[in-house]
Amino acid sequence: RTEVQNELLQSAGAIQNYKAFNNNLPATQVAFNSIYTPGSAVTLTYIKRIDNTYCLNGASTKDATVRFNIDSRNNTSQVAPNHCS
């Protein structure tokens, strides 16, 4: 649980750094994977929306019920339960 939340917060920071340097968000999951790699116990899924916001979903590879997200429409430093889209 804590590991998924920490990975989300760290990866959101990496996205913000990327955006500051490139003046844009990573365009795809592949581009996201090039700037952040989570630990083996966590899977992260990145979705860039057409309105230039993003949704970042995190899940435990050990317990499928552990799912959290960061939605840049809400707050990039707030982890919420479940997944966004």
Q: State the pLDDT at residue 3.
A: 95
> pTM of whole model > 0.85?
yes
- Across the range 28-47, mean pLDDT stands at 97
Q: State the pLDDT at residue 85.
A: 87
Residues 59 and 16: their CA atoms lie apart, in Å, by 21
The mean of the pLDDT values for the chain is 95
- Quote the tokens at residue 78: 């707030």
Q: State the pLDDT at residue 77.
A: 81
- Across the range 61-78, mean pLDDT stands at 92
Beta bridge partners of 81: 68
- Across the range 7-24, mean pLDDT stands at 96
67: left (phi over 0), alpha (psi -120 to 50) or beta: beta
